[in-house]
C-alpha cells in the first residue's frame, strides 16, 4: 500500500503531474459549463427537436472524423520530431492547413447527403432540411479549423491557451442558451453553437499566430506523409464512423424520435470522461510521443493504464449510486431510463479506455493491427450482435454498439505491444 501511495505522490508532484492537475482544473470548469448548457438544452427542447439535435451532433462528429482521418496522426508523427525547430514547424503548419481544407471539400458533400437522409427519416421537409445541413456544416468547419490550431499549441506546450479556448466555447454556449431558455428550439440552439464556435476559433487563431511565418513554405515531403496517413486510415475511419454511430443510424431509421432523443440524452454521460480525456490529449499523448526510450515508454503506459481503468470504474460506480439524481436532472421525459443509464455508463467507460489507448498509439503512429483488421473484426461483432440482440430495444442497441468497440480494442492493445517491441528492436 505504501508503494502505491508513494508512486501516486511521485506522479502527482512530478512536472507532468502538476501540468495534468492544472489541465484537469481547467477542464473541470469546462465540464461544469458544458454540463449546464446540455441540461438546459435537454430540458427545454421537446423530444422531436432533441432527436434532431442528436443527429446534428452526429453529423458534426462525422465531418470532423473524416476530415481528420490520418491527418492528425501524420501531424503528430512529424511534429514530434520538429516541434522545437521554428522554421520546420512553420513549414509543417503551412502544409497542414491547406491539406485539411482540401480534404474537407471532399467530405462535406458525402456527409451532407447522409445527414439529409437522416433528417428526412425524422420527417423534416426539404427546405428546413437543407438549412439545417448548411448551418451544421458551418459549425463543423469552424470546429475543424479550431482543432488544427489546438493541435499546434499542444505540441508547443501551450495547454492553457487550448483550455481557455474551450472555456470560451462553453461559457458562450451556456450564457446564450440560458438567455434564450424560454424560446429555445433547434434553430436557436444551432445558431448559438455557430456563435460560440466562431468566438472560440477566433481566439485560438490569435494564440497560434506566432507559429506561422511569412517565409514558411508548403513542403511536399510533409504533404506526402499527411496524405499517406489519410489514405491508409480512411477506410478504417469511415467504417468507425458507421460503427461508432450505428446506434444513431438504427434508432433514426428503425425507431421513433423518442428513442433517438432518449439515446441522445443518456449519451451526455460521456461528458464525465472528457475531464481525463482532455489531460490525455493535451499532455499525456504529446509527452508520450516525445519518448524514445523503450523502458520509459513501457513504464509510462503501465501508469497510464492503471489511471484510466481506475477512473472508469469510479465513474461507473458513481453513476450507479446516483442514477436517480441524474435522471431527475435530465427531466421528467427521461425518468424511466434507469437500466439504460447504467448500460450507457458501462459502454462509455469501455469506449473511454480503448480510446485512451488509441490516443497513445496514434501519438507514435502505432496503427498496424488496427489499420488492417479493425473492419473485419467489427463486422463480425456487428453480425453476431445483430443475430442475437433485439435492435428495437434501446438497452440492446446500446449493448450492440459496444461489441465492436471491445473487439477492436484488443487490436489496439496488440498495436501497443507491437509498438513497444519495435522500439526495443530499433535501439
Examine the pLDDT at 256 and tell me if it is beyond 80.
no
* CB distance 228 to 74 below 8 Å: yes
Examine the pLDDT at 116 and tell me if it is beyond 60.
yes
Task: Tell the residue number behind the cell numbers 463480425, with chain if given.
Answer: 380
Domain containing residue 128: 2-425
Q: Write the pLDDT tens digit of every residue in 217-236.
A: 888 888 888 888 888 878 76
Which range has the worst mean pLDDT, 161-175, 284-298, 312-326, 360-374?
A: 284-298
Provide the number of structural domains found in the chain: 1
Residue 4 is predicted with a pLDDT of: 44
The residues near 374 (Cβ < 8 Å, ≥ 6 apart) are 236, 239, 240, 408, 411
The residues near 393 (Cβ < 8 Å, ≥ 6 apart) are none
Degrees, nearest 5: CA angle 216-220-222: 80
Measured between alpha carbons, how far is 167 from 33 in angstroms, rounded to an integer?
Answer: 8
CA 319 vs CA 28, 98, 207, 277, 279: distances in Å: 18, 43, 38, 18, 22
Percentage of the chain surpassing pLDDT 70? 90
| DSSP symbols for 326-358 | HHHHH-GGGTT-HHHHHHHHHHHHHHHHHHHHH
| DSSP symbols for 184-236 | --HHHHHHHHHHHHHHHHHHHHHHHGGG--TT----HHHHHHHHHHHHHHHHH
Measured between alpha carbons, how far is 87 from 105 in angstroms, rounded to an integer?
Answer: 28
Record the pTM: 0.75
Residue 10: pLDDT band (50, 70, 90) is low
Average pLDDT over residues 362-377: 82
Residue 151: pLDDT band (50, 70, 90) is confident
Instruction: Using DSSP, state whether 391 is helix, strand or coil.
Output: coil
* CB distance 363 to 288 below 8 Å: yes
Degrees, nearest 5: CA angle 67-150-305: 90
Amino acid at each position: 500500500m505504501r508503494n502505491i501511495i508513494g508512486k501516486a505522490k511521485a506522479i502527482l508532484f512530478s512536472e507532468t503531474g502538476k501540468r495534468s492537475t492544472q489541465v484537469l482544473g481547467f477542464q473541470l470548469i469546462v465540464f461544469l459549463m458544458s454540463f449546464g448548457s446540455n441540461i438546459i438544452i435537454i430540458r427545454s427542447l421537446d423530444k422531436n427537436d432533441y432527436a434532431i439535435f442528436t443527429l446534428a451532433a452526429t453529423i458534426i462528429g462525422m465531418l470532423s472524423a473524416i476530415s481528420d482521418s490520418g491527418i492528425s496522426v501524420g501531424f503528430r508523427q512529424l511534429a514530434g520530431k520538429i516541434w522545437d525547430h521554428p522554421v520546420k514547424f512553420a513549414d509543417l503548419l503551412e502544409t497542414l492547413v491547406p491539406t485539411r481544407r482540401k480534404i474537407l471539400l471532399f467530405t462535406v458533400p458525402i456527409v451532407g447527403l447522409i445527414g439529409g437522409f437522416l433528417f428526412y427519416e425524422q420527417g423534416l421537409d426539404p427546405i428546413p432540411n437543407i438549412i439545417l445541413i448548411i448551418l451544421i456544416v458551418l459549425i463543423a468547419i469552424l470546429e475543424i479549423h479550431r482543432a488544427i490550431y489546438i493541435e499546434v499549441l499542444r505540441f508547443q506546450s501551450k495547454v492553457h491557451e487550448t483550455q481557455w479556448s474551450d472555456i470560451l466555447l462553453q461559457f458562450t454556449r451556456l450564457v446564450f442558451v440560458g438567455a434564450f431558455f424560454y424560446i429555445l428550439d433547434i434553430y436557436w440552439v444551432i445558431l448559438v453553437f455557430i456563435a460560440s464556435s466562431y468566438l472560440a476559433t477566433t481566439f485560438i487563431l490569435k494564440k497560434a499566430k506566432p507559429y506561422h511565418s511569412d517565409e514558411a513554405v508548403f513542403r511536399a515531403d510533409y504533404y506526402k506523409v499527411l496524405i499517406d496517413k489519410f489514405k491508409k486510415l480512411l477506410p478504417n475511419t469511415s467504417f468507425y464512423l458507421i460503427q461508432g454511430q450505428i446506434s444513431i443510424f438504427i434508432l433514426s431509421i428503425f425507431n421513433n424520435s423518442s428513442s433517438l432523443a432518449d439515446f441522445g440524452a443518456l449519451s451526455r454521460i460521456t461528458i464525465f470522461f472528457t475531464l481525463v480525456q482532455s489531460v490525455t490529449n493535451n499532455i499525456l499523448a504529446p509527452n508520450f510521443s516525445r519518448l524514445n526510450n523503450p523502458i520509459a515508454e513501457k513504464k509510462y503506459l503501465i501508469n497510464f493504464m492503471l489511471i484510466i481503468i481506475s477512473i472508469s470504474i469510479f465513474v461507473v460506480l458513481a453513476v450507479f449510486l446516483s442514477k436517480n439524481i441524474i435522471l431527475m436532472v435530465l427531466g421528467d421525459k427521461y425518468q424511466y431510463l434507469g437500466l439504460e443509464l447504467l448500460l450507457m455508463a458501462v459502454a462509455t467507460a469501455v469506449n473511454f479506455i480503448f480510446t485512451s489507448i488509441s490516443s497513445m498509439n496514434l501519438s507514435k503512429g502505432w496503427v498496424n493491427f488496427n489499420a488492417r483488421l479493425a473492419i473485419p473484426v467489427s463486422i463480425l461483432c456487428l453480425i453476431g450482435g445483430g443475430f442475437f440482440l433485439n435492435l428495437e430495444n434501446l438497452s440492446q442497441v446500446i449493448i450492440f454498439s459496444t461489441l465492436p468497440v471491445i473487439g477492436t480494442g484488443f487490436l489496439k492493445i496488440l498495436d501497443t505491444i507491437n509498438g513497444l517491441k519495435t522500439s526495443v528492436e530499433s535501439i
